[in-house]
Structure 1
Amino acid sequence: MNRKNLGDLLLEYKLITQDDLDEALRLQSKGEKKRIGEILVELGKVAEDDIQYLISKQLNIPFIFLRDITLDDDLIKKFPKDFLINNRIIPLYETNNEISVATNDPFNFEAINKFKEITGKDVNVSACSSKDILEKLQHIKYFYLGQLVESLDSLIKNLKKSGFYRIDFIFDKTLKINISGSFAFQKIYDLNIGQIAPEEILKYFQKFEYGYFYELFTNTNSFILFIYPILELSNIVFINKFGIFPDKMPLFTDLNYWGKLNIFKSELPKVGYNFIPFKQFMQGENIINLIDNVSGSLPEGVMLPVLCESCKGAKCENCNHLGYSFEVKHG
């Protein structure tokens, strides 16, 4: 089928007049960096739904109203937010071999092929209005959080080179994210992203290659979530310089744990097994304490924070964007 000019199609179906088209073409010729269809919609000459319906008829593809469809939020979150918004395209559903998408521009082959590239599946295209797409994306409230938590991956890896070992998520109208450990504290983010559930944060962390200890405190519309990431890539768990090696498993701790190691929750130590008390300092055989819980003189070999000389705590490349460097205590 030959692809006709959109303006000619609109005239053929008597959705606009020649004067309407001429006015839109004049605006476009004066530097208006928009497509004819967009200009005609802004001028009030035609509804966007009419344009999309016409295109769908010409291409023999479905025309849909997204507001009548319940979408899969998790499927949408697989694709970059900016990509979906900028291209006015959204995934609808997928099978083992195909993925269906809706777009306001079925001729945007670059964006359509991107779905095939990402999923390795054939792409079925439907037409719909850009307004419907943007409204649906606006209500995907955890979309940005997913990108944020993934960006924390590099931060977590930097923690291994430092004395920081805990990430704090504090939600009360806004979401604050801090890191702490070894008597140091650093603010990372303060975000206004709407209502959020701690379970969503935990779910995103499970996509990484390490496990974590965690502690959760909740109130009516707020929560505090402490996450202690475990870098399993090196088969060693580092909590400052107190190391837990795989040959010391199984291990008990007074916090919740998610991961692949043989770690179990217990409020009290188990005779003959290693135990990490996160909530308080303990004495005894096989006890591995956090540095922040140690009272009195600190043992040799721990890492102590020193304010970064280059940025004075503002975070820079010299301190791996942590604001502090850490020096090993000797003697």
Structure 2
Amino acid sequence: MLRGVELSAPAGSIVALLGPSGCGKTTLLRCVAGLERPDGGVVRLGDRVVSGPGAFVPPERRRVGMVFQDAAVFPHLSVARNVAYGLPRRDPRRDERVAEALELVGLAGFGDRAPATLSGGQLQRVALARALAPRPAVILLDEPFSSLDAPLRAELRAEVRRVLAATDATALFVTHDQEEAFVVGDEVAVMDEGLVAQQGTPSQLYELPASRRVAAFIGDANFIAGTADEGVARTVIGPIALHGPVEGPVEVMVRPERILATEGDGGTVDAVEYFGHDAVYRVRLDGGGSLRSRVIGAPRLRPGARVALAFTGPPTVAYAAPTPPAEPATSVAAAALS
């Protein structure tokens, strides 16, 4: 369910809709496509209102192309006939448009092939070519790589970004994968419980998340208790410069790569996670709690090592510490009577 969504996509840009299952990503996409009619609000494609009070333009008249999770390629039609499906039969440039779309997605010469002879990645390229052939103003992609294995997903998402940029079409790309959203999207809109919690460039979302929920969803984050005063938070790992005005008890968001772990006193390495390109130390603090520290390449510390931790990054964000819940009145009354 959507509730008061505010989303903008600059002309010619790719905006990734990122969020967990059930947050409203696909519903929003269907409202833009005209497959769902919103109860309220306005949907504009360029200067044209396609959904709003007293107005509703049907899907076929919106100039919107859509690519689904499962490609939805017609098995009884050739590749060329699949791509031509959305083009007018009497268009004199029909064959030319099909050939252009196939070349754009790297399938030139595949027009006579049957879908059954193609790989999963090639089928998704056919679906993208079919969406692009009518030259829509907007392309909508609903988790188009979810059924592919990891190496193919990485290859195809880079290719899709190249293709979309070449067409200069505006695109909305739905995904629950943060890495995918950051690679494909010029901007990323994080959805949470039917709302757009924050929209911005990938670097803005990663470095300056607007809320603790966004910070926890985007990448890996430590939340360190501290006290903020005049732009600096005092914490167990030392002073941390803050971005934005905040005072009093806070939780400071620190990415693991911004925490330097060196031999010393302050905590103990409980575990080491090695990923090849980097490694993460899980450090148990002497005063309680734990933090994650990321290093590039092979780890130098082993479990059991004593370490000191320090913040090494630019100013980061902090959020007001949650207020402990008040004691319920019924509990107080019961105590007084006991």
Q: Same fold (TM over 0.5)?
A: no
> Which has the higher Rg, Structure 1 or Structure 2?
1
**Greater RCO (Cα-Cα under 8 Å, separation 6 or more):** 2
Compare the two structures and name the one with the higher strand fraction: 2
Query: TM-score when scaled to structure 1?
Result: 0.26
